[in-house]
Each structure stands twice: as structure tokens, then as C-alpha cells.
Copies of this chain bind each other. A is one copy, B any other.
């Protein structure tokens, strides 16, 4: 039995604002974080770079970047050549689940995190999904997280044989974007290291127009926290 060590937790780290805040929460709760990032054929390798900067800033001991070629599966504007929509979240919500939805993405990410958590002997998996200021993805809802917990309790040797279940933690799931930003600012998250834009410029500036940029910008405004994001063109708030 490990007694003197901190409990380990796998933290899914996308390079975005939510997952950076989630990492800070896991650390505050006393876990030793093991960061897991996926290179999944998304348009934006800049997300992986952001994840590396965030992990380094928090002194994470091990940051695993796992490549899975979700382009082979296809089906999303984030992995394929479909244009990213810029109609704003309102229009997207009206039209249902947006084309930026990557089929079964969180199921895939949690499944891989579960495998690593079992190998590490981790007590938990942290994921920064959010069901409030979100884009309408079905795998960001509390009932999805609960169903994955049920699955994890049946799927792993850790839970079945060693009575050592792995807790699936989604601490942001009921929070607003503004609330997340306020909490993270208090925990020392440097949001300048994070990236949210679905469609940044070649120089790495955020477009300011995609769903993700709109949610992020509004979040900083509502939180009353200065937005460190570098936006392209006239849409800057600074």
C-alpha cells in the first residue's frame, strides 16, 4: 500500500481554459496530477503546445501526449475540412448539436484516461467538461459522466478485484464560464497560457468569432477579470 504518497489523479488537459482550471482544482484537492493530452488530428496543434505550457507552469511530473488519429474516423469540423461555423452559440443551440462535435470524443478520452489511471494506481480522473456554457455536445452532460462512472466501476481490475474504484470527477460541470474564470484566477491559473479558439490565425491569435471565443470573451467580461487573450482584428476587448 502507498501511504506516504499523495493520491494520484489523471487530469485531461486540452490546453483550454476549462481543463487548466480543472488541473488547478485537482492540485488544490491534494492530488498528484498526471496530465493527459491527445493529439487527435485536430486542426490545432497549438492546443497541444498550450497544454505543455500549462503542465510546465504547474510543475506536473508527467505529461503524456497520446496520438490517436481521429481523422481516420472522420465526422467533425474540428478534425476534417468542414469550415468552422461562426454564427455564435445562440444560432448553434437553435440548430442543435454543432458540426464541431467530434463523435464520441469524451468517451474515447475517458476510456484512455481510465487505462492510464489503472496503470498508475490513480484514485481519480479529472475532466473539465461543462454543461452550462457549453456548445451542446451530448458527452458534456452530468448523466454522461455518471454513466461513465458506472462503466468504470465494472471495467477495471482496480475496481472489480482490488475494490479500488476510480472516481470520475467533473468539477466544472455545473459552473458558468465566469465562475470558472473567477475560481481559476483565485487558484493561480495563468489564462494567458491557455487557448480556446477553434480557428486561430497562423500567428496564434484567437479569431474572436467562433463559439469558443465568444464564450471565453463573455466569461471574462462577466467575471470582471481582464481577458489576456490576443484576438485578431477589430474584435479585441483590450
Contacts and interface: CB of A to CB of B under 8 A. Distances in A.
Interface of A: 64, 66-70, 72-75, 96-97, 101-108, 110-112, 114-116, 118-119, 138-139, 141, 143-144, 147-148, 150-152, 154-157, 159-161
Contact of A104 (B97, B115, B141, B147): B115
Given A111-B111, A139-B155, 13 more contacts: A67-B69, A74-B119, A97-B157, A97-B161, A102-B115, A104-B112, A107-B111, A107-B152, A108-B112, A111-B112, A139-B156, A141-B154, A147-B155
Chain A interface secondary structure, helix, strand, loop or mixed?
A: helix
A144 B154 contact: yes
A158 B155 CA distance: 24
A138 to B, nearest CB: 4
A5 B107 CA distance: 29
Contacts of A157: 97, 101, 103, 138
B73 A104 contact: no
A68 to B, nearest CB: 5
A-B complex: 10 closest residue pairs judged by Cβ atoms: A75-B119, A104-B115, A103-B118, A111-B111, A103-B115, A138-B160, A104-B114, A107-B111, A147-B151, A108-B111
